[in-house]
Amino acid sequence: MARITLENIAHAYRPNPQGEADYALKELDYDWTDGEAYALLGASGCGKTTLLNIISGLIRPSRGRILFDGQDVTDAPTAERNIAQVFQFPVVYDTLTVRDNLAFPLRNRGLPAAQVAARVQAVARMLGLEDMLSRRARGLTADAKQKISLGRGMVRQDVNAILFDEPLTVIDPHMKWELRTQLKSLHREFGHTMIYVTHDQTEALTFANRVVVMHEGRVVQIGTPQELFERPAHTFVGYFIGSPGMNLIPARIEGDRAHLPGGTIPLGRGYAGLSGPVEIGVRPEFARLSDAEGLPVTIRRVEDVGRHRIVRADLGGTPISILADEDEPLGPDRTRVVFDSDRVGVYADGWRVEGRP
């Protein structure tokens, strides 16, 4: 296992990139801690697969260096990096048995047969594949095939990192949850460095210790699920993570007060020298309806999702969402919204600005 260092990595698919816009992956400098579970989260086309392929060696970055445990592997081919990858669609060797599939990477590396058999047995036990070892891989279900793919990586004891490229895409919903849980416990037990690419926030937040959120080729925030929820560094993170996403309301900030359409609200901190379009961001969880205080809103509709209700409202032309408990009264008199002032973030040009207390 290894620490993976990205030094000023950037990648453009076209030769001779000119400006920022040509780069599919904007410059990135980051240390991936050994033994940590990461998720690369972002919408389709945000560059997360590019980043994964740079780490696995399928793509050579246009700029920068990549190091495994301090050793430069920028030009090393995939085979030499000693990583494992689980692809979106299960890749198994159809005509081979499950046992031979698992043994394949070890046999190719010339390990003695006894050692191969022992490793295969061990990995099959970890993944719960023991019962199907002598079956052919072809007829198995998608989730079993994904386990085999994963097993082909885990069977190598010295594997540097295991990369996952949206591995649950073709798995049935009820198996998704089970596989994710299993992955998590495998990580806890064996401590492989795992990097998991996904566009599904639930997958990312439940799987990873640290989530790397990407947007338009840029890493916008790296943090624990809690950090992403509580202090999104970019409006994209606020919007993308959470269900529904963070409310973003255009505002004019004066010191520790924000002027919004329909009134002024206090902020917990003071802000100065903001440039670009300024917005405040507040999660629906930290907004509540009131009959007396707060800003007037027009309520459009109420969605009951079971454990709570989502109130869709309109604040001076900006649609916002408010979370209301199941037993909270809703009525024609409760048409004002109150934001929890500690939880209101200020964003200038999309990026979070830290205020002074």
Partner 1 sequence: MKPVNNRAWFLVLPVLVLVAFSAVIPLMTVVNYSVQDTFGDNEFFWNGIYWFDDLLHSERMWQALGRQILFSAIVLAIEVPLGVFIALHMSKKGAWASACLVVMALPLLIPFNVVGTIWQIFGRPDIGLLGHTLASLGLDYNYTRDILDAWVTIVVMDVWHWTSLIALLAYAGLRSIPDAYYQAAKIDQASRWAVFRYIELPKMRGVLVIAILLRFMDSFMIYTEPFVVTGGGPGNATTFLSIDLVKMALGQFDLGPAAAFSIMYFLVILLVSWAFYTVMTNLDREEGPR
By CB under 8 A, name the one of 94, 178, 303, 326 that touches partner 1: 94
What amino acid occupies position 179?
A: L
| Interface mask toward partner 1 for 149-188; x: CB under 8 A | x--xx-----------------------------------
Rank residues 83 and 323 by Cβ distance to partner 1 and give the closer one. 83
Rank residues 62 and 149 by Cβ distance to partner 1 and give the closer one. 149
**C-alpha dihedral, 178 to 325 to 256 to 265, nearest 10°:** 140
By CB under 8 A, name the one of 63, 65, 135, 257 that touches partner 1: 135
Rank residues 50 and 321 by Cβ distance to partner 1 and give the closer one. 50
Site for partner 1 in 74-93 (CB under 8 A): 77-79, 83-85, 87-89, 91, 93
Per DSSP, 354 falls in state: P
Q: Decide if 355 contacts 268 (C-beta within 8 A).
A: yes
Tally of CB atoms within 10 A around 95 = 10
Rank residues 91 and 175 by Cβ distance to partner 1 and give the closer one. 91
Rank residues 137 and 205 by Cβ distance to partner 1 and give the closer one. 137
Rank residues 12 and 83 by Cβ distance to partner 1 and give the closer one. 83
Q: Decide if 341 contacts 332 (C-beta within 8 A).
A: no
27 CB burial (10 A radius; 0-12, 13-18, 19+): middle
How far is the first Cα of the chain from the last one, in angstroms, to the nearest whole number? 43
How many residues interact with partner 1 (rule CB under 8 A)?
28
Instruction: Name every residue whose Cβ is closer than 8 Å to that of residue 21 and which is 6 or more positions away in sequence.
Output: none
- The answer to the question of residue 109 lying near partner 1 (CB under 8 A) is yes
Site stretch for partner 1 (CB under 8 A), options 8-16, 22-30, 147-155, 301-309: 147-155
Rank residues 21 and 79 by Cβ distance to partner 1 and give the closer one. 79
- The answer to the question of residue 130 lying near partner 1 (CB under 8 A) is no
- The answer to the question of residue 96 lying near partner 1 (CB under 8 A) is yes
State how far Cα 156 lies from the chain centre.
26
Q: Decide if 157 contacts 111 (C-beta within 8 A).
A: no
Q: Smallest distance, Å, CB 239 to partner 1?
A: 31
Rank residues 148 and 228 by Cβ distance to partner 1 and give the closer one. 148
User: How far is it, in rounded angstroms, from Cα 317 to Cα 304?
Assistant: 23
Q: Decide if 72 contacts 65 (C-beta within 8 A).
A: yes
Q: Decide if 104 contacts 96 (C-beta within 8 A).
A: yes
User: Tokens 């902020």 sit at which residue?
Assistant: 267
By CB under 8 A, name the one of 16, 18, 44, 108 that touches partner 1: 108
User: How far is it, in rounded angstroms, from Cα 122 to Cα 314?
Assistant: 58
The structure tokens listed for 82 are: 């000693």
Q: Smallest distance, Å, CB 89 to partner 1?
A: 6
Site stretch for partner 1 (CB under 8 A), options 66-74, 133-141, 281-289, 295-303: 133-141
- The answer to the question of residue 136 lying near partner 1 (CB under 8 A) is yes
CA-wise closest residue to 310 among 322, 298, 297: 322
- The answer to the question of residue 343 lying near partner 1 (CB under 8 A) is no
Binding site for partner 1 (CB under 8 A): 56, 58, 77-79, 83-85, 87-89, 91, 93-96, 104-105, 108-109, 135-136, 138-140, 149, 152-153
